A and B are shown apart, each in its own frame.
Chain A
Amino acid sequence: MSTLSPARSTRTPFATEATFIGRSFIHTLRTPDALIMAIALPVILMIMFTFVFGGAIDRSGDYVNYVVPGIILLCAGFGAASVATDVANDMTTGVIDRFRSMPIRASAVITGHVVASLLRNLVATVIVIGVALAVGFRPDAAPLAWLGVLALVALYILAITYLFAGIGLAASSPEAAGGYGFILMFLPYLSSAFVPVDTMPGWLQGVSEHQPLTPIIETIRALLMGSPVGDSAGIAVVWCLGILATAVVVTTLLFVRRSGRR
Chain B
Amino acid sequence: MDTMIALRGVHKSFGKEHVLRGIDLEVRSGEILALLGPNGAGKTTIINILSTLVSPDSGSAEIGGLDVVQQRSAVKHLISLTGQSAAIDEILTGEENLRMMARLSGMTRAESSARSRHLLERFELVESAGKRVRTYSGGMRRRLDLAISLLLTPPVVFLDEPTTGLDTRSRQELWDVIRSLAAGGTTILLTTQYLEEADQLADRIAVLDHGRVVAEGTPAELKSRVGGELVVLHGATGEPVREIPTDGSVAGLRSALDALDPTAAVSLRRPSLDDVFLAVTASENRPTTDLVTSKG
Report A's interface with B, CB cutoff 8 A.
Answer: 1-11, 15-16, 19, 22-23, 26-27, 30-31, 93-95, 97-104, 259-260, 262
Complex A-B, nearest 3 residue pairs according to Cβ-Cβ distance, in ascending order: A8-B106, A260-B53, A260-B54
Complex partner residue of A101 from B79, B90, B100, B153, CB under 8 angstroms:
B79
CB distance from A48 to the nearest CB of B (A): 33
Tell me if A6 and B184 are in contact (CB < 8 A). no
Complex partner residue of B78 from A1, A6, A31, A100, CB under 8 angstroms:
A6
Bound-state Cα–Cα, A1 to B84, Å? 24
A94-B83, A260-B48 known; A101+B76 contact, CB < 8 A: yes
Known: A1-B150, A5-B153. 5 other contacts (CB 8 A): A1-B181, A7-B105, A7-B152, A10-B104, A97-B87
Say yes or no for B192: interface residue by CB 8 A criterion.
Answer: no
Say yes or no for B52: interface residue by CB 8 A criterion.
Answer: yes
Q: Mark B180-191, 1 if CB is under 8 A from A, else 0.
A: 110011100000
Tell me if B103 and A7 are in contact (CB < 8 A). no
Q: Mark B98-119, 1 if CB is under 8 A from A, else 0.
A: 0011011111100000000000
> Closest A-chain residue to B118, C-beta based?
A1
> How many residues on B have C-beta within 8 angstroms of the other chain's C-beta atoms?
44
Complex partner residue of B53 from A8, A19, A22, A259, CB under 8 angstroms:
A259
Complex partner residue of A104 from B53, B104, B153, CB under 8 angstroms:
B104
Bound-state Cα–Cα, A10 to B112, Å? 12
Tell me if B180 and A26 are in contact (CB < 8 A). no
Chain B residues with Cβ below 8 Å from A16 are 104
Most chain A beta carbons < 10 A, residue from B54, B80, B87, B150: B87
Chain B residues with Cβ below 8 Å from A9 are 77, 106
Bound-state Cα–Cα, A103 to B89, Å? 19
Report B's interface with A, CB cutoff 8 A.
Answer: 48, 51-54, 73, 76-92, 96, 100-101, 103-108, 132, 148, 150, 152-155, 180-181, 184-186
A7-B80, A31-B91 known; A97+B51 contact, CB < 8 A: yes
Decide if the interface of chain A is mainly helix, strand, loop or mixed.
loop
Query: What are 27 residue pairs bridging A and B, where the CB atoms are less than 8 Å apart in the complex?
Result: A1-B180, A1-B181, A1-B184, A2-B184, A3-B153, A4-B154, A4-B184, A6-B78, A7-B105, A8-B77, A11-B106, A15-B104, A19-B104, A26-B92, A95-B88, A95-B89, A97-B81, A98-B81, A98-B101, A100-B53, A101-B51, A103-B73, A103-B77, A104-B104, A259-B54, A260-B48, A262-B85
Bound-state Cα–Cα, A2 to B153, Å? 8
> Closest B-chain residue to A93, C-beta based?
B85
Bound-state Cα–Cα, A86 to B83, Å? 21
CB distance from A6 to the nearest CB of B (A): 5
Chain B residues with Cβ below 8 Å from A3 are 153
Chain A residues with Cβ below 8 Å from B81 are 97-98, 101
Most chain B beta carbons < 10 A, residue from A8, A27, A97: A97
Chain A residues with Cβ below 8 Å from B132 are 30
Tell me if B105 and A23 are in contact (CB < 8 A). no
CB distance from A58 to the nearest CB of B (A): 45
Bound-state Cα–Cα, A16 to B76, Å? 15
Chain A residues with Cβ below 8 Å from B105 are 7-8, 10, 102
Tell me if B84 and A10 are in contact (CB < 8 A). no
A7-B152, A23-B92, A26-B91 known; A97+B76 contact, CB < 8 A: no
Bound-state Cα–Cα, A260 to B87, Å? 13
Chain B residues with Cβ below 8 Å from A1 are 150, 153, 180-181, 184
Bound-state Cα–Cα, A99 to B76, Å? 10
> Closest A-chain residue to B80, C-beta based?
A7
> Closest A-chain residue to B73, C-beta based?
A103
> Closest B-chain residue to A86, C-beta based?
B91
Most chain B beta carbons < 10 A, residue from A6, A8, A10, A26: A6
